[in-house]
Chain A
Amino acid sequence: MRYISRATFFHHLDSRTKILMSLACACLIVILNTSFSLFGLFMILLAAFFSVKPPLSYIKITTYLMGMAIVATVISQGFFYYFEPRTPILTILPKDAGLIGKLTGGISICREGLVYGVVQSMRLFSATLLSMIIVMSTHPSDLILGLKRFGVPEKIGFMLTVSIRFLPVLAEEAKRILVAQRLRGLRIKGLRGSIRGFRFLIEPLIIDSLRKARRIALAAEVRGYTGKRTEIKKLHFFWMDWVVLSIVFFVIIVAVKNRFFYE
């Protein structure tokens, strides 16, 4: 999941707006309680997702992730939903069947649980879509800059930049090490094989990373890095940002009121 350069509405928004939107949507995902409102949120985010013009591969991945989410949630809540009323439609293990039955109180799937699972998976869908929207429309260096403006210290921002910058380098290296292992005759099938493969992957990968770390640190020193620096990149708020923030603020107020003050 990477940033893709396009010219959509979300791409033009300031990264700080998007961070605040993330926080607001995250709160909404927690606060909203009715199936209607959850579905509404999901639909809005779905529209937003398509507005960012995702390529087909991303749509496929998102669908796959949402599919996994709904299956996992429906099954788990089918089993574990414990509010009354509870009508079991399929019992795997009755309450009094042996030790496991007594310990677990019986394992059965109930209808209300399945329905509940479908509704709650809207939350996971919304979170998945939201994360896709933010990642696709915001360059990582802008996100880090936004976080820094919100108070994250400079050295942490630098650390994050270095991690993101070198992540693809390390990932490629890991792949090459795995191929080199196979060429040396190392068999990595099965459980024992995976453990050996892991051990012979981690050691060279970490040692080479340490070597890189030394070189990167020297390069930072000769570039005068001390932790303090002038930042020339600027973030600008446009009128669109204010509009979005006001809408989001309004929605949050309404949601909080409805949830906590009308119950």
Chain B
Amino acid sequence: MIIVKDLTYSYPEADYPTLEGINLDIREGEFVLLIGPTGSGKSTFLYCLNGLIPHVFAGDIRGDIRINGISPQEITVAEISRIVGTVFQSPETQIFMLKVEDDVAFGCENLSLPKEEVIKRRDMALKEMGLLHVRNAETFNLSGGMKQRLAISSIYAMGPNIFLFDEPTTDLDSKGRGELLGIIRKLKEKGNTILLVEHQYEDFLPVTDRVIILENGKIINETKSFHSIRTVSRERRCFKGYSSEIDIQDLTFGYRKEKPILKDINLNIRRGELIAVCGENGSGKTTLLKIMAGLLKPDKGRFALLGFNNPAIEELIGRVGFLFQNPDEQLFANSVEEEIMFGPLQLKKKVDKEKYLKLANFNTVQKKHPQTLSRGQRQLLAILSILAMEPQVIILDEPTTGLDYNNLCSLFKILNTLVNENKTVIFSTHHMGVKEFADRAILLEDGRIVSDEIYK
């Protein structure tokens, strides 16, 4: 039972409050979906409930929060963790131990429960979360979905009956999302109270009791059912070119020869196409994209790009742009404008900085350090920094990860601009509903192309 009255909170040194006048009652066993644009205060609200605010994050908190009658401000975070469990977005940074069963026991050990109790809870959590078969496995080798499951298990073992989820599906593919949905359903069936913050919330609507929309720190609308999914509008345009940009014939590739990841791929991509590559984790999407960017050499078969046969990276720099999954691994400079000009500077090319800043509305932030931007903005900046090198072919690995509605719109505006300039764009995605953006969607399963649909 969560009661929130007039909650107002500002981060230290902030000009305006992140949360303003929040009033909310959540009944026991309810499933509440919390949505809203990035920066609206959703994560901040969760932190007020689990005690991270004010114990870890300082700042000015006002108003009253009662969880089962107790205020999180009056007890320690460790004590609250017995009632309220929190699962964050990135599974990697929620796992501490080297072995699965040790990590599940970690939370209970921290509560200083007696040994037998810890062992009992650990075994129960392993069983209920379906991790018994991997209990002795190394945590490093688990898939994304399994890692998130492990993170949830370690919280579950601590015995809370309120669960907070902060964008837990962002780093997962659809298989992982499906598994997570199953676990969340199970938690709900056991009568736990669940508060879920998500951008990709369509899958969860069937189990949701209530949807709350947060914008600029205020609750703007509260409805019992919420069905419309605003889709990003798309201007359709016609193909301009028919010349073959990328030609792949009978391609096979594996990081180890005995274990091929891509098998007998045949693919022809024309100039000016916008292509979505879909598939589960492990289907070979990223590997295919890397081969197309010249980062990997095929074991068998032919690969031609822009007229080069089996090109090396050096031949493709400046002609092919590749965006990795994590934008933070590609930001090198100390200001936004420096970042955009970084690539052209290395290639000694002259480009119009303003043009690129305008594409993502970055004119107001051009002097800021890239790391001070939000995740979605850093993603867009990484894309711009590659586009500034004016490549002919642009390949993006999971560019939609972690983008809210507004940033997704910006992304597709940029991609449409590129395609209208007759550039070829290829991207991989887990995001459902996004493949309709593309002209063509390729589905990979177990290293083979199983479908190649053209939308016109």
Contacts and interface: CB of A to CB of B under 8 A. Distances in A.
A and B touch in the complex (CB under 8 A): yes
Contacts of A224: 77-78, 81-82, 107, 110-111, 158
Given A168-B140, A176-B324, A181 B332 contact: yes
Top 8 A-B pairs ranked by shortest CB distance? A185-B346, A224-B78, A215-B93, A224-B110, A223-B107, A229-B109, A219-B94, A222-B86
Interface stretch (B96-104, B126-134, B251-259, B433-441): B96-104
Interface string A202-232: 0110011001100111111111111011111
A232 B56 contact: no
Interface in B66-107: 76-78, 81-82, 85-86, 88, 90, 92-99, 102, 105-107
Interface string B363-399: 0000000010000000000000110010000000000
A35 to B, nearest CB: 41
Given A183-B322, A204-B328, A139 B98 contact: yes
B331 A204 contact: yes
A173 B329 CA distance: 7
Contact of B155 (A187, A220, A222): A222
Interface string A133-157: 0000001110000000000000000
A207 B371 CA distance: 8
Given A183-B317, A216-B93, A232-B105, A141 B99 contact: yes
User: From DSSP, what is the main secondary structure of chain A's interface residues?
Assistant: helix
Contact of B110 (A165, A173, A223): A223
Contact count band on A: 35 or more
B134 to A, nearest CB: 14
Contacts of A181: 332
Of listed A212, A220, A224, residue having the most chain B CB within 10 A: A224
Contact of B346 (A186, A208, A215, A226): A186
Contact of A179 (B90, B115, B295, B343): B295
Interface string B45-79: 00000101001100000000000000000001110
Interface of B: 50, 52, 55-56, 76-78, 81-82, 85-86, 88, 90, 92-99, 102, 105-115, 118-119, 122, 139-140, 151, 154-155, 158, 293, 295, 313, 317-318, 321-322, 324, 326, 328-332, 342-343, 346-347, 371, 385-386, 389
B109 A231 contact: yes
15 contacts: A139-B99, A165-B95, A168-B140, A183-B293, A185-B317, A185-B346, A200-B332, A211-B328, A212-B93, A217-B56, A219-B94, A219-B96, A224-B111, A225-B110, A232-B115
B284 to A, nearest CB: 18
Contacts of A140: 98
Contacts of B389: 184-185
A202 to B, nearest CB: 10
Contacts of B322: 183
Contacts of B122: 232
Contact of B118 (A179, A208, A216, A232): A232
Of listed A139, A184, A231, residue having the most chain B CB within 10 A: A184
A177 interface: yes
A233 interface: yes
A173 B326 CA distance: 9
